[in-house]
Structure formats: structure tokens, C-alpha cells
């Protein structure tokens, strides 16, 4: 697995809790959820490098496909437009129209696609706000997440979001608080509310709360102590979601460095990798993690080794003691090629 993919999976894989949690709470089984939707949530970088000319041609064809008579074609078209992201802004009016589609999965996918376009999709705010009262739980949560990504330009949705926090399923409450933290001036109050869900008795609620706190990034700095505590959660999915969320906060999560270092010993490789990545995102302030990260250079899992290499490079000159170990990884013919390339990059950053 290329290191780019390792890094991305360590950083975003538990955003899939969004769909898994909805499947559980809405009476759907995980198997009944669309594989494409799960891939859509988990794969934020799929089309990151698409060329402008290619995007223009693709977006035109996909926009036309949003009117296809087959619902699965419309859904897949919306899915792909979301993956293209901001380069698909010309499709925003068409995607906004699709928010009224008769098919549940088409409406939800269109909402998520608009969310991927961020502030540029502000013209869709009213349509997304209307979905907050959709009959389907999945659609309501997708709309709330999309509004949080559009930002303060979607402030008119606040009344409906407040209603969601009082009368909804817990997962919808979590997404509503996430959006309110972005749209409302009283972000800290909503972040505190989200932090309380980290202690919920259901793992999918705890994991989803961690995911949205990561979505909020530095806006959720007040949640760092609660997240650090939740790194000891009994559920591996939750632990990985929490580690990833702390990484999204970067240096603002430096107070959680001791707990992240301890998490490098986790029995689950995905959790170890996420913790290593997060320490790298903290940067030089994670210098106490250098020796524990060096131990991970011998981990049995390539994802973990790659994440440790990345972290050491991001810590920078304070990780000079790791240069010999990184050089060994670089020279190891049996090591994954992507790990060796990452080691070369890390050595350069440390020496810089």
C-alpha cells in the first residue's frame, strides 16, 4: 500500500462511522448500506490531482447524469462530483436540485457532495436546511454535515439545527452540534456538548462524536482533554477515531501528547498508526515521542511504520536521534518502497 494511502487511511478512515452509525440507528444493516457511499466518505483524496481540463469535461458529463432516469446512476454521478470537490462548482445548481430527488440515497449523496465543495456551495444552504426535516435519518445527518462544511454562510439553518439537538436520534444530535459549532458564535458551548457524547454507552455515538470533533479541527480545542481520555476506549474503532481527531487539531492537541505516546502501544495497528500520524501533526511539540516512534520503525505493519516515519519527519530537528534508524529503513531492501521514500523525506526534514 503506498504511503499516501496509508497516511490517508490513518487520518480519515473512521469518518466511515458516519454511515455505519446511521445504518445501526436507522434500522439498516451495514451490508445494506451502499459500498459506494462508504467509499465516498472514507476516500477524501481520490480525485485530488485531477487536472482542470479533465475536471471540466468530467463535470459536464456527470452533471448531465444527475438527470438520468436510473437512481443508481444519479447517485453515482453525485458521488463522483463530490470526489472532484471544488473543481466541480459548476455542478452546484444541479446538485442543489437533486436534494429534492425521490431516492433517499441520491438526496444524501448530493448533500455530501455539496459539503465537499465547502464555502463555494453556500447557494445550496437553503436546500440543505430543508433536508434537516427529511423523513430519512441518513439524509438529515448528511445535510447537517454538509452545512458544517459550508460554514457561517449557512447560518440561517441554525433554528432547524437547534431543533435537531432536542428531538433527534443521538447521531443526528452529534451532527447538529457539529454544524452549530461552526455556524453559531457560541462554538465552545456546542463543543462541550459534543464532548459529552464521547462517554455515551454506544460505540457508534462515541466514534461519530470523535469524528465530528476532528472535522471542527482547532475550533474544538476545548475537547482535547476529553478526547485524550477517550484514547483508552474499549472499542478500537473509537480509539482510532479519537487519535485521528487529535491529529486534526495539530499543535492545539499538544497537551494530549503523553496519551498519544501511550497509544503507540495499542494492540490494534490502525490505532497505532493513527496515534503516530497525530503526533506528527502536533509537530515539534511532540518531541517526547521520538524514541517511542523509533520503536515503531520495526512494527510488523507497513501502515504503522509509514506513519512513524512521517511523524518523525514532522517533528523535525528535535528527532535527530532517529536519523540512524531512518537511514537503516531507507537502506533496507526488504522494506516497502513507499516507506523508504518517506524515510528519505523525513531525513531531509530533520536535517533542515
Chain segment 204-254, per-residue pLDDT in tens:
999 999 999 999 999 999 999 999 999 999 999 999 999 999 999 999 999
**% of the chain residues with pLDDT over 90:** 80
Chain segment 105-122, per-residue pLDDT in tens:
999 999 999 999 999 999
CA proximity to 186, closest of 155, 164, 207, 214: 155
Tell me the average pLDDT across 31-53.
46
Query: Where are any strands of DSSP class E within the chain?
Result: none
Direct distance between the N- and C-terminal alpha carbons of the chain, in angstroms, rounded to an integer: 28
Backbone torsions φ then ψ of 87, nearest 5 degrees? -75, -5
Model-level pTM? 0.84
Q: What DSSP designation does 319 have?
A: G
What does the alpha-carbon distance between residue 332 and residue 328 come to, in Å, rounded to a whole number? 6
Domain ranges of the chain: 28-168
Q: Does position 273 have pLDDT exceeding 80, yes or no?
A: yes
Q: Does position 275 have pLDDT exceeding 80, yes or no?
A: yes
- pLDDT at residue 38, rounded to an integer: 36
Q: Range with the lowest mean pLDDT among 27-31, 70-74, 286-290? A: 27-31
What does the alpha-carbon distance between residue 197 and residue 176 come to, in Å, rounded to a whole number? 13
- pLDDT at residue 192, rounded to an integer: 97
For the record, the C-alpha cell of 136 comes out as: 430519512
Q: With bands split at pLDDT 50, 70 and 90, how would you rate the model's confidence at 51? A: low
- pLDDT at residue 53, rounded to an integer: 64
**52 burial via Cβ count (<10 Å: 0-12, 13-18, 19+):** exposed
**% of the chain residues with pLDDT over 70:** 85
CA proximity to 111, closest of 17, 100, 88, 102: 100
CA proximity to 36, closest of 75, 87, 81, 84: 75
Q: Does position 28 have pLDDT exceeding 90, yes or no?
A: no
Q: Does position 12 have pLDDT exceeding 60, yes or no?
A: no
With both helix axes pointing from N to C terminus, report the angle between 236-248 and 3-12 in degrees, rounded to the nearest 10: 100
Please check whether residue 264 is in contact with residue 294, taking contact to mean a CB–CB distance below 8 angstroms. Answer: no
Q: Following DSSP, what letter does each residue of 256-276 receive, concatenated?
A: GHHHHHHHTT-SSHHHHHHHH
Q: Does position 23 have pLDDT exceeding 50, yes or no?
A: no
The residues, ordered by sequence, that sit 6+ positions from 43 with a Cβ below 8 Å of its Cβ are 8, 12, 83
CATH architecture of structural domain 28-168: Alpha Horseshoe (1.25)
The mean pLDDT of the chain is 88
Buried b (16+ CB within 10 A) or exposed e, 318-350: bbeebeebbeebbeeeebbebbbebbeebbeeb
- pLDDT at residue 168, rounded to an integer: 73
Chain segment 118-147, per-residue pLDDT in tens:
999 999 999 999 999 999 998 999 999 999
Chain segment 61-78, per-residue pLDDT in tens:
999 999 999 999 999 999
- pLDDT at residue 46, rounded to an integer: 45
What does the alpha-carbon distance between residue 102 and residue 106 come to, in Å, rounded to a whole number? 8
Q: Does position 33 have pLDDT exceeding 60, yes or no?
A: no
118 Ramachandran zone, left/alpha/beta (phi>0; psi -120 to 50): left
What does the alpha-carbon distance between residue 26 and residue 329 come to, in Å, rounded to a whole number? 47
- pLDDT at residue 167, rounded to an integer: 75
- pLDDT at residue 55, rounded to an integer: 80
Q: Range with the lowest mean pLDDT among 5-19, 202-216, 327-341? A: 5-19
- pLDDT at residue 90, rounded to an integer: 96
Q: Does position 40 have pLDDT exceeding 60, yes or no?
A: no
- pLDDT at residue 352, rounded to an integer: 77
Residue scoring higher pLDDT (23 or 287): 287
Chain segment 310-323, per-residue pLDDT in tens:
999 999 999 999 99
Q: With bands split at pLDDT 50, 70 and 90, how would you rate the model's confidence at 176? A: very high
Amino acid at each position: 500500500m503506498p504511503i499516501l494511502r496509508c497516511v490517508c487511511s490513518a487520518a480519515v478512515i473512521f469518518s466511515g462511522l458516519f454511515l455505519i452509525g446511521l445504518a445501526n440507528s436507522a434500522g439498516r444493516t451495514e451490508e445494506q448500506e451502499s459500498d459506494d457511499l462508504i467509499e465516498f466518505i472514507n476516500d477524501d483524496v481520490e480525485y485530488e490531482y485531477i487536472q482542470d481540463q479533465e475536471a471540466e469535461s468530467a463535470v459536464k458529463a456527470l452533471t448531465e447524469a444527475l438527470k438520468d432516469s436510473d437512481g443508481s446512476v444519479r447517485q453515482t454521478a453525485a458521488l463522483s462530483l463530490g470526489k472532484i470537490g471544488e473543481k466541480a462548482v459548476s455542478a452546484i445548481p444541479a446538485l442543489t436540485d437533486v436534494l429534492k430527488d425521490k431516492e433517499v440515497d441520491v438526496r444524501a449523496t448530493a448533500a455530501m457532495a455539496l459539503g465537499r465543495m465547502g464555502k463555494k456551495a453556500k447557494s445550496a444552504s437553503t436546500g440543505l436546511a430543508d433536508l434537516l426535516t427529511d423523513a430519512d435519518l441518513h439524509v438529515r445527518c448528511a445535510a447537517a454535515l454538509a452545512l458544517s462544511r459550508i460554514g457561517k454562510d449557512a447560518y440561517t439553518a441554525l433554528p432547524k439545527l437547534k431543533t435537531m439537538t432536542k428531538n433527534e436520534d443521538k447521531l443526528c444530535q452529534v451532527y447538529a452540534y457539529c454544524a452549530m459549532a461552526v455556524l453559531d458564535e457560541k462554538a465552545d458551548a456546542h463543543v462541550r456538548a459534543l464532548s459529552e457524547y464521547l462517554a455515551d454507552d454506544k460505540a457508534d455515538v462515541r466514534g461519530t462524536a470523535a469524528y465530528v470533533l476532528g472535522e471542527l479541527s482547532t475550533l474544538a480545542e476545548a475537547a482535547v482533554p476529553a478526547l485524550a481520555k477517550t484514547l483508552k476506549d474499549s472499542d478500537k474503532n473509537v480509539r482510532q477515531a479519537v487519535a485521528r481527531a487529535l491529529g486534526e487539531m495539530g499543535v492545539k492537541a499538544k497537551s494530549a501528547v503523553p496519551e498519544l505516546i501511550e497509544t503507540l502501544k495499542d494492540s490494534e495497528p490502525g490505532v497505532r498508526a493513527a496515534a503516530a500520524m497525530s503526533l506528527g501533526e502536533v509537530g515539534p511539540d511532540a518531541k517526547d515521542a521520538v524514541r517511542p516512534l523509533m520503536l515503531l520503525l520495526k512494527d510488523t505493519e507497513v501502515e504503522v511504520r509509514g506513519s512513524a516515519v512521517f511523524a518523525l519527519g514532522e517533528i523535525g530537528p528535535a528527532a535527530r536521534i532517529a536519523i540512524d534508524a531512518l537511514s537503516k529503513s531507507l537502506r533496507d531492501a526488504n522494506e516497502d518502497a513507499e516507506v523508504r521514500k518517506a524515510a528519505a523525506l523525513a531525513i531531509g526534514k530533520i536535517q533542515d
